[in-house]
């Protein structure tokens, strides 16, 4: 399972002075790997935006990918619609492989040190509809993390340790269905 995302997938702990990560067993990627008993490769970076050029890593037979991006794009002034269009373009260039890529709309922002306006919170809530549309257009699967009870830290963006656990619990059934559906083919 390849996990391609930004700081929340990377496991950034915004409480740390030097920008450290949570321990592997506290990041949603590590929790998911333990729960599923599969190798999850974290290909994420702090600050990653939806790539305007290039592609996601190619999937080998038997590999799957989770993609969660867009938070940094919103923080830099892009709209949810622009994020959805950019994500669809990125997915088309990446040739997602029918049913082997799960696009995740990140949980909406909350007001905090990095999110000072209610308008930005509202814009982040619009990502889910845009991403669902983009995923459907390219044959990728979709999950909306807004219903998973993901807690953020003081900044309104980064997951708390409890948020990582909630995210892992929320995404697990989507990943199990993706894997199961592909085994049946």
Q: Give Cα separations from 140 to 91, 101, 174 (angstroms).
A: 8, 5, 12
User: Is there a contact between 64 and 24 (Cβ–Cβ < 8 Å)?
Assistant: no
DSSP state of 16: S
Query: For residue 102, what are the β-bridge partners?
Result: 66, 141
Shortest CA distance to 132 belongs to which of 51, 183, 70, 56? 70
3-state secondary structure at position 34: helix
Q: How far apart are CA 70 and CA 82, in angstroms?
A: 10
Is the per-residue pLDDT at 103 higher than 90?
yes
Q: What is the mean pLDDT of residues 163-183?
A: 94
DSSP state of 12: B
Buried b (16+ CB within 10 A) or exposed e, 15-40: eeeeeeebeeebbbbbbbbeeeeeeb
Q: What is the mean pLDDT of residues 18-37?
A: 94
Torsion over CA: 7, 12, 15, 18 (sign)? negative
Token reading at 98: 């029918």
Tens of pLDDT, residue by residue over 71-94, are 999 999 999 999 999 999 999 988
Is the per-residue pLDDT at 183 higher than 80?
no
Is the per-residue pLDDT at 184 higher than 90?
no
Taking phi first (over 0 means left), then psi (-120 to 50 degrees means alpha), and beta for anything else, what does residue 39 get? beta
Q: What is the CA angle 6-98-32, rounded to 5?
A: 45
Q: What is the mean pLDDT of residues 60-68?
A: 92
Token reading at 65: 């990918």
Q: What is the pLDDT of residue 96?
A: 67
Weakest-pLDDT range from 19-33, 82-96, 116-130, 158-172? 82-96
């Amino acid at each position: 399972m390849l996990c391609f995302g930004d700081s929340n997938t990377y496991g950034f702990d915004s409480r740390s002075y030097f920008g450290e990560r949570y321990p592997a067993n506290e990041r949603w990627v590590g929790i998911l790997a333990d729960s599923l008993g599969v190798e999850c490769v974290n290909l994420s970076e702090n600050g990653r935006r939806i790539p305007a050029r290039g592609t996601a890593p190619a999937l080998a037979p038997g590999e799957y990918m989770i993609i969660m991006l867009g938070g940094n794009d919103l923080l830099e002034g892009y709209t949810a619609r622009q994020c959805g269009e950019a994500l669809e373009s990125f997915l088309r260039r990446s040739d997602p492989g029918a049913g082997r890529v799960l696009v995740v709309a990140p949980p909406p922002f909350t007001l905090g040190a990095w999110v000072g306006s209610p308008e930005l919170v509202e814009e982040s809530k619009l990502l889910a509809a845009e991403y669902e549309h983009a995923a459907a257009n390219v044959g990728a699967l979709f999950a909306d993390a807004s219903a998973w009870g993901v807690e953020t830290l003081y900044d309104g963006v980064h997951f708390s340790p409890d948020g990582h656990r909630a995210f892992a619990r929320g995404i697990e059934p989507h990943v199990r269905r993706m894997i199961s559906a592909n085994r049946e083919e």
